[in-house]
Chain A
Amino acid sequence: MKETPGEITNLLLAWNNGDESALNRLIPLVYDELRKIARQFANRQCTQLKNAFQPTVIVHEAYTRLVDEERVEWRNRAHFYGIAGRTIRRIIVDEYRKMKANKRGGDWEQVSLGEVDGAALPRVDLLALNAALEMLETWDERKFRITELRFFSGLTNREIAEVIGASEKTVEREWRSAKAWLYRELTRGAAL
């Protein structure tokens, strides 16, 4: 079911044509829609419950619902994923911050990357990640965009290459060094 394909599509097109205010109207729509989709997924009692929580599923679902494909060129689609990634990042980080504040009076379990050994995966403080991403944005915008699209839109390197208009090889290279840099940044002060 496409809910408001017309409106979103119009805004995308307007934004693409240079109307910067369209972006500001676009983001709240996408935000609401993403929340709605996430909730519907979870309520669907789908057999793969966890898939409901993966940004990539939600983003692709949002796209098919929100965007009138016939009217939108690839470039707009790329924009859409960019917006969705940014929006999801905003939602996740806001909620994470709230959870941290509410939970156990700040006694939230905090383990930074690298502190947990053994086979188990380390946990990442998303606020620390977000702060690192903001640093990255001021310094190397392309690495930042690639990282955001990877983490929060769940796009593959190939899809990202199309979105940002670079070769897949470049994306791979940039993603690798962005990851290493982030890892370094998040483990600063902790033994590697």
Chain B
Amino acid sequence: MVVSRTDTGSGIVSELDRRAMRIFEDALDLAPDAQAGFIADACGGDAALREEVELLLASDRQAHQLSEAVRAEIADVAGAVMVAPSGQSLAMVGVKLNGRYVIEKRIGAGGVGVVFLARDEHLHQRQVVVKVLKESRDPWLLRKFTQESEALTRLDHPNVVKVLDRGMVEDGRPFLVMEFVKGETLEDFLKLGAGRLDIATVILLIHQIFRAVETVHGGGIIHRDLKTSNIMVRFQADGTLQAKLIDFGIAKIFETTAGNQTTTPLTVGTLPYMAAELFDGQEASVASDVYALGIIAFELLTGARPFVAKGRSLLAQILEYRNLQETGAGGQLRSLRPELPEQLESVLLTALAFHPEARYQRVLSFETALIAALEGIDAAGIPETETLTLGGSESKVEAASAVVPSGTTARRATGDLPKTAPVKMNWPVTGLIGILIGTGIALTIVGVPPRWGFPKPGSVPTPAPAPVSVPVSAKNAPALPFTLEDAPTVATAGQEIRLRATLNRGGYFYVFSESPSLRTDALPNYTVLFPGSSDNGGSSRFDVRNLVIPPVESGPGFVFEGKQGTEKLWVVWSAESVPVLETVRIRANPKDQGVVTEREQVLALGEFLKKHVEPDENVTVRCVKIEHR
């Protein structure tokens, strides 16, 4: 219901309102604790007047919403009406958009748009997907569409469909051009698999899908329509399986520059994947996406869904799904596939819990628990697992060093690597997953010239001269996304070093070392020092927090060994996930103990660091030089 003065027909400000307004305005000039007394005096015994003044004060506290809401509404009307003179037909086949995308056929309709297959005349007739807003006059649809394109443009993840271009159809409807993802939907893929995907494939798909969703959440978006038909899978040229999220039609944006105004007039989503609270009209949340992922994981493992409603009407189905969820999935997983570990069942029951707060609150924690269960590993008590235990034990340093080919300076040393094959980790999914669940990691840069390493075996680190603490860039610290403290500029052999950083803004955070070149190609030697594969749950995304690098619980700090010289530490913060950095980090970590070996990656990283010496809004790079004496 809309209430306005036109409804009452008066259109005139009453005398009472005028008096209330005067008192309210005078009260605003007073200190908050003086207001109550002033208002009581000014109103005398007039209860109606006093109530009106109180209402104005309450309105004042809420009124900040007004500007935003009005702005959004005006933008809607302007966008939907001023630029869209008429609703033209959707007969789009043959139409050329942006002078290059020729529409070939309609392939479907998403939440807010009609989807076409098109060819890009500028790029070798490459196939692309064009999504055109269904209807241009509905502000809600227009807003959703703008939000979707914004959200997708901001995301950059190999498992999330890419936005290539956008524009406006002649009649004013906006469109998006997206990469055409070959392959089939996960829904079809599972039908072929008949519920018997091997565990390695399940892990692979879970990892890709979950990481994609985690990235989506990191970008401030709740997907809210996760389902197997919104995920494409295909085999890539190298034979590996790749999954991609393709539809963000109803993604709820809670961080869009267009505003925070997502009021949904309809219940949106797809019933079997909708958590119970959504039926009750609650806001979609990370937990409701976790629920949908729980259903997807269940399907990956069994080929079936835990809950199937048979009701004929939508309403009947909704009620049925709600009841089924409240009752719970019980032991269904293992009755469908008995060889699965019991722990897996409880992980899924957690994800599918009826109450959102009982579910995993982050996709990452769900993923960690799920994969640990799939591996038969207790996520809480891993340190004893032989191939997984990383960090700490100094006696293994030599083993790690021994296999380092001379000519590389930096290696990521891991404490308990098997001596016979220190680099090869025979944890089956290491390469696949890129996360190692270990107690910790210490870092070593081994080689001839200046190097980082563990404290000498069996010895207390040489008591070093007190670290020379230099407040790095204290001048403009608060404005920076991160600040570094106590970074010594000089270090002696054996002196343990830890960096202390404060992240003032959430984002992706890395520390790389750069050592003088020992490569035959004269490129610098980079090592990924942080985050290690066991730090921060294997993710480089951090919320606002204080960091000790390397974390104390993961073992000793950095130590210099060998020759003296200058070591550079590149500390990098990025608002968004940067593919170069992520590739470097993920590939370097498990495989080569942190050393960036591939020429292409060394070049890419070097270029990135150079390019971002001047910080901008999205990326800040700091170089800390430490003189090893």
Please report A residues at the B interface, Cβ cutoff 8 Å: 35, 38-39, 41-43, 45, 49-50, 52-55, 58, 91-92, 95-96, 98-99, 102-103, 109-116, 118-129, 131-132, 134-136, 138-139, 150-152, 173, 176-177, 179-190, 192
A111 to B261, CA, bound (A): 12
Task: State A4–B66 Cα separation when bound (angstroms).
Answer: 36
Minimum C-beta distance from A36 to chain B (A): 10
| CB nearest to B167 among chain A residues | A45
Q: Is the CB of B77 within 8 A of A92?
A: yes
* Residues of the A chain whose Cβ atoms lie less than 8 Å from the Cβ of B18: 139
**Between-chain CB contacts (< 8 Å), 16 pairs:** A38-B78, A42-B83, A52-B83, A53-B75, A54-B71, A99-B77, A109-B140, A111-B263, A115-B1, A121-B259, A128-B2, A177-B60, A180-B24, A182-B63, A184-B55, A190-B3
**A contact residues around B73 at 8 Å (CB):** 96, 123-124, 126
Tell me which residues across on chain B come within 8 A of A119, comparing CB atoms: 254, 260, 283
Do B260 and A95 touch (CB < 8 A)? no
B72 at the interface (CB under 8 A from A): yes
Instruction: Output the nearest chain A residue to B137 by Cβ-Cβ distance.
Output: A99
Q: Are A188 and B254 in contact (CB under 8 A)?
A: no
**Cβ of B139: which chain A residues have Cβ within 8 Å of it?**
99
B168 touches A186 (CB 8 A): no
Indicate if the CB atoms of B28 and A138 lie closer than 8 Å: no
Asked if B63 and A183 make an inter-chain contact with CB atoms under 8 angstroms apart, the answer reads yes
Contacts of A135 in B (CB 8 A): 5, 11-13
Chain A residue with minimal CB distance to B52? A184
- A124–B67 touching, CB < 8 Å: no
Given A50-B146, A120-B262, A131-B4: A192 in contact with B77 (beta carbons within 8 A): no
The residue on B at minimum CB distance from A139 is B13
Query: How far is A187 from B63 in the complex, measured between Cα atoms in Å?
Result: 11
* B75-93 vs A, Cβ < 8 Å mask (1 yes, 0 no): 1111111110000000000
Instruction: Name the residue in A113, A118, A125, A126 with the highest tally of chain B Cβ atoms < 10 Å from its Cβ.
Output: A113
Cross-chain contact A121 with B68 (CB below 8 angstroms): yes
Assess whether A121 is in contact with B260, with CB atoms less than 8 Å apart.
Answer: yes
10 smallest CB-CB distances across A and B, nearest first, come from A128-B4, A42-B83, A121-B261, A189-B3, A180-B60, A53-B79, A183-B59, A179-B63, A184-B59, A95-B81
- The answer to whether A129 touches B78, judged by C-beta atoms less than 8 angstroms apart, is no
A113 and B66 contact, Cβ closer than 8 Å, known pairs A132-B5, A184-B56: yes
Residue of A nearest to B97 (CB): A45
Find chain B residues with CB under 8 A from A38 CB.
78, 82-83
Known: A38-B83, A43-B168. A180 touches B4 (CB 8 A): no
Q: Are B5 and A45 in contact (CB under 8 A)?
A: no
- Residues of B contacting A102 in the complex (Cβ-Cβ under 8 angstroms): 137
Q: Is the CB of B11 within 8 A of A131?
A: yes
Q: Which residues of B contact A39 (CB under 8 A)?
A: 82-83, 172
Could you list which residues of chain B lie within 8 angstroms of chain A, going by C-beta atoms?
A: 1-6, 11-13, 18, 21, 24-25, 28, 55-60, 62-83, 98, 137-140, 146, 149-150, 166-168, 172, 174, 254, 257-263, 265, 283
Which residue in chain B gives the minimum CB-CB distance to A177?
A: B25
CB distance B6 to A150 under 8 Å?
no
Contacts of A189 in B (CB 8 A): 1, 3
B13 touching A151, Cβ below 8 Å: no
Once the chains bind, are B74 and A132 in contact (CB under 8 Å)?
Answer: no
Question: Measured between alpha carbons, how far is A99 from B150 in the docked complex, in Å?
Answer: 26
**Residues from chain B with Cβ under 8 Å of A91 in the complex:** 82
Residues of B within 8 A of A121 (CB): 65, 68-69, 72, 259-261, 263
The residue from A49, A110, A126, A131 contacting B74, defined by CB atoms under 8 A apart? A126
> CA A138 – CA B5 in complex, angstroms?
13
Cα distance, A8 to B146, chains bound together (Å): 34
Contact indicator A96/B138 (Cβ below 8 Å): no
Most chain A beta-carbon contacts within 10 A, residue among B58, B66, B69 = B66
Q: How far is the CB of A53 from chain B (nearest CB, A)?
A: 4
A180 & B59 in contact (Cβ 8 Å cutoff): yes
CA distance A109 to B1 in the complex (A): 9
Residue of B nearest to A184 (CB): B59
User: For A95, what are the chain B residues with a Cβ–Cβ distance below 8 Å?
Assistant: 77, 81-82
CB of B59 within 8 A of CB of A42, answer no
Shortest Cβ gap from A119 to chain B (Å): 7
Q: Find chain B residues with CB under 8 A from A132 CB.
A: 4-5
Q: Out of B12, B81, B146, which one reaches A49, CB within 8 Å?
A: B146
- In the complex where A50-B146, A50-B258, A151-B74 touch, is A122 in contact with B58 (Cβ < 8 A)? no
User: What's the Cα separation between A121 and B68 when bound, in Å?
Assistant: 8
Q: Please indicate the chain A residues that have their CB under 8 angstroms from the CB of B70 in the complex.
A: 124, 126, 129, 151
Given A109-B265, A179-B60, 4 other A-B residues pairs in contact with their CB atoms under 8 A: A38-B83, A92-B77, A136-B13, A189-B1
Residue of A nearest to B29 (CB): A173
Known A103-B137, A122-B69, A192-B59; contact A50-B74, beta-carbon cutoff 8 A: no
Tell me the minimal C-beta distance from B583 to chain A in angstroms.
26
Give complex CA distance A56, B132 in Å.
27
Residues in B whose Cβ lies below 8 Å from that of A124: 66, 69-70, 73
Min C-beta distance of B81 to chain A, whole Å: 4
- Residues of chain A within 8 A of B172, CB atoms compared: 39, 42
Q: Select the residue from A96, A111, A118 with max chain B CB neighbours within 10 A.
A: A96
- Taking a contact as CB atoms under 8 Å apart, the answer to whether B56 and A181 are in contact is yes
Q: Closest B residue to A121 by CB, please name it.
A: B261
Check A45–B166 contact: CB distance below 8 A. yes
Closest to A42 in B: B83
Q: Which residues of the partner chain A approach B6 to less than 8 Å between Cβ atoms?
A: 127-128, 131
Interface centre among A41, A173, A176, A181 (most CB of B within 10 A): A181
Q: Is the CB of A122 within 8 A of B83?
A: no
Contact B78 A55 (CB under 8 A): yes
Nearest CB in chain B to that of A126: its residue: B73
Question: Which of A45, A151, A185 makes the CB contact (< 8 A) with B98?
Answer: A45
Enumerate chain B residues within 8 angstroms of A125, measured Cβ to Cβ.
2, 4
User: Are B3 and A110 touching (Cβ within 8 A)?
Assistant: no
Let me know if B3 and A120 touch, CB within 8 A.
no
Most A CB contacts (10 A, CB to CB) among B67, B74, B75, B262 go to B74
Q: How far is the CB of B516 from chain A (nearest CB, A)?
A: 42
Give the distance to chain B from A114, nearest Cβ to Cβ, in Å. 8
Question: How far apart sit A148 and B246, CA to CA, in the bound complex (Å)?
Answer: 42
Cβ-defined contact, B28 with A177, below 8 A: yes
- Return A56 CB to nearest CB of chain B, in Å: 9
Complex contact B3–A187 (CB within 8 A): yes
- Which residue of A35, A58, A151 contacts B71 across the interface (Cβ within 8 Å)? A151
> Complex: how many Å from CA A136 to CA B13?
8
Instruction: Give Cα distance in the complex from A50 to B150, angstroms.
Output: 10
Q: Are A134 and B2 in contact (CB under 8 A)?
A: no
The distance from the CB of B592 to the nearest CB of chain A, in whole angstroms, is 39
